[in-house]
Amino acid sequence: MKKILFFLAIAALGVVIRVTASGARGAAGKPAVAADYESEESDRIDHQLAQMMNMINKQAPVMVDKDTRLDNTWGLAHHFRYNYTLIDYDGAEVSAQQFTAAMRCYLRVG
């Protein structure tokens, strides 16, 4: 249970950082000082994401629960992705719609 909460907390942080970063992208038409600040902020966010990915990847693969294994994380340009494997299921057993419907309340899809 602690592992699940740990990974959900990291996922939530990744979403918050992604939202923050997307707000810092449009510097066109702003004063140069603001654009420099946003550029530094963007670089800082990328650095923090890379640190989080490295921390998680050092521990991976790790079983999240009896059916789910976290294989690794990766990201680029303010995106943080998790690669999981459902170990007790065949891909033909679960449709994308079923999976999305079951996970929508836990994940931000899109």
pLDDT digits (tens, 9 = 90+) for 32-85: 556 666 788 888 888 888 898 999 999 999 999 998 999 999 887 778 888 989
37 within domain boundaries: yes
**Residue of 100 and 36 predicted with greater confidence:** 100
Within-domain flag for 26? yes
Spatial CA neighbour of 13 closest among 58, 67, 42, 52: 52
Give domain status of residue 109, yes or no. Answer: no
pLDDT of residue 21: 47
Pick the more confident residue, 23 or 41: 41
Would residue 18 count as lying in a domain?
Answer: yes
Which ranges of the chain would DSSP assign to H, the alpha helix?
2-23, 32-59, 96-103
Structural domain contains residue 84: yes
| Tens of pLDDT, residues 31-45 | 655 666 678 888 888
Tally of domains within the chain: 1
Between 16 and 80, the more confident residue is 80
81 assigned to some structural domain: yes
What average pLDDT score do residues 84-88 get? 88
Domain that holds residue 90: 2-103
Polymer length in residues for the chain: 110
Question: What value does the mean pLDDT of the chain take?
Answer: 74
Domain assignment present for residue 110? The answer is: no
For residue 32, the model assigns a pLDDT of: 56
Residue type, position 72, single letter: N
The answer as to whether 108 is a domain residue is: no
Dihedral angle of Cα 69, 9, 14, 102, to the nearest 10 degrees: 60
- If we measure between CA atoms, which residue out of 81, 75, 59, 74 comes closest to residue 3? 59
Whole-prediction pTM value? 0.56
